[in-house]
Amino acid sequence: MLGDSGTLSNNVKTLLALLALHSVLDCYAGIWPIYKHLAGISLGVAGLIATLATTVTWVLQPYFGIWADKGYARVCVIAGTVLTFPMMLLGPVTGLLPSLPTWGGYGILFAAVFLAKLGQAMYHPAGASISGNLDDGRRSTMVALFVAFGWIGYGSSQLVFSYTFRWANTHTEWLLIPGGLVVLGALRWCFPKELHHQGRAGLISSITSIPFGRKRLYVLFAMLCCMSALGQGLFFLLPEFMEAKGYSSWFVHGGALLWIVAGSVIGIVPAGYLADTLGRHRVLVLSLLANLILFFAFVWTPLLPTYGIALLCMGVGAAMNMANPIGVAIGQHLFPEQRSLISGVLMGLSWAVGGTAPWIMGVLASRSDIGIVNALAMLWVAGVLAFGMSLFIETDMASDGDEIQD
């Protein structure tokens, strides 16, 4: 942990900078659902902006992974974080929107969201690689820390932005101060070991080599696309849904998201333990079944007391977000010779496909004959499809108990 002179080692400084950058990145990039609620942006338009920005930028994630592996990981994590900064300017921009042409106002909003999504796509492959390579003997711990700090940033995003928006009279640019300090610190502290894999295959050849037809990878991919759509659709409509159900302002303006993310973080630990003891495929199927039950209860249960809705949010978060890490682990096990590519496909590409959900949910929720609650209820179909597909995933194992023998 400490260098020879008693100072922090380069690896520790890099890790601390990386974790702080991840929190800022996902905090800043995660405010669109609550901003569109605060600014009164049409759900259909807000959904289209989110969908276009997500699908275009996250398809590029494999490219940024290749770029990071060629010696630009530090550039990716710092520049990626800076690209989310325009999101904090949306507060003061709100007052200008009525005086701008419709296309101009929406163009500014799209540019900010697009840059933020581009920053996330640039940051995540490089950040995951840096964290895992800091300590070969504790790779899992390093990656777990990396993931946890991203969730902390995202879970706090809506509360931080919404309360600053209201208390500072839309002057959310003040939130750039902590982010700027973090970036300055990273410029001094973040110096990861660059890998310089110059011989790695290019983006096109990597994509064309994806073995979708082997070992039913297409089933696993489609399942994760459904779960990605479920998550993105839920987060997009969450402020309006909590308001429609009659919950307090705290839950509407980010409290519900905070509890869902808390459940996700807490659920990661037992999910990993259960996957190691019961087998990944069994735990995946059980988590998706639990997701069906809890998501249905979340949508249709009448108004609950504070502790009740908090627990239900945590349960939904835990069940909903188990599928991705377990699904990626199964994919990596099936194709050990292509682990990086498989991770990019099952994480980045599935997220891009699932990014169509905000637009679909926005259009449906805007219709008077459907409404917000019924629109969100329709997402349950994605959970049903994911559960059904999980029963047909190839595990390439003689028994579930062998599945953990990597």
What is the total count of domains within the chain? 2
CB of 57 closer than 8 Å to CB of 2: no
**Measuring CA to CA, which residue among 80, 284, 273 is closest to residue 179?**
80
Q: Residue 2's beta-bridge partner residues?
A: 8
**Which residue among 208, 224, 256 closes a domain?**
208
Q: What does the pLDDT look like over 352-384, one tens digit per residue?
A: 899 999 999 999 999 999 999 999 999 999 999
Q: What does the pLDDT look like over 63-87, one tens digit per residue?
A: 787 787 778 889 999 999 999 999 9
Q: Report d(CA 10, CA 371) in Å as an integer.
A: 53
Same domain, 197 and 220: no
Same domain, 202 and 247: no
CB of 227 closer than 8 Å to CB of 386: yes
Axis-axis angle for helices 323-334, 280-300 (nearest 10): 160
Same domain, 334 and 345: yes
| CATH code of the domain in which 80 resides | 1.20.1250.20
Of the chain, the percentage scoring pLDDT greater than 90 comes to 60
Question: What pLDDT does residue 322 have?
Answer: 83
Same domain, 137 and 283: no
Question: What pLDDT does residue 195 have?
Answer: 59
Same domain, 172 and 233: no
Same domain, 400 and 287: yes
Q: Report d(CA 198, CA 71) in Å as an integer.
A: 8
Q: Residue 8's beta-bridge partner residues?
A: 2
Question: What pLDDT does residue 3 have?
Answer: 53
Output the CA torsion sign for 286, 287, 290, 296.
negative
Q: Which domain holds residue 144?
A: 1-208
CB of 110 closer than 8 Å to CB of 46: no
**Which residue among 192, 208, 224 closes a domain?**
208
Same domain, 360 and 406: yes
CA atoms within 13 A on the CB side of 6: 0
Output the CA torsion sign for 110, 113, 119, 124.
negative
Question: What pLDDT does residue 29 have?
Answer: 97
Q: What does the pLDDT look like over 29-43, one tens digit per residue?
A: 999 999 999 999 999
Same domain, 273 and 181: no
Sites in the chain below the pLDDT cut of 70: 1-7, 136-141, 194-215, 269, 272, 332, 337-341, 343-344, 395-406
What is the Cα gyration radius of the chain?
Answer: 21
Question: What pLDDT does residue 172 have?
Answer: 97
Question: What pLDDT does residue 213 have?
Answer: 61
Same domain, 252 and 137: no
| DSSP output for 81-109 | HHTTGGGGGHHHHHTTGGGS-HHHHHHHH
CB neighbours of residue 201 within 10 Å: 13
Q: What is the DSSP letter of 348?
A: I
b/e code 338-362 from CB counts within 10 Å (16+ = b): bebbbbbbbbbbbbbbbbbbbbbbb
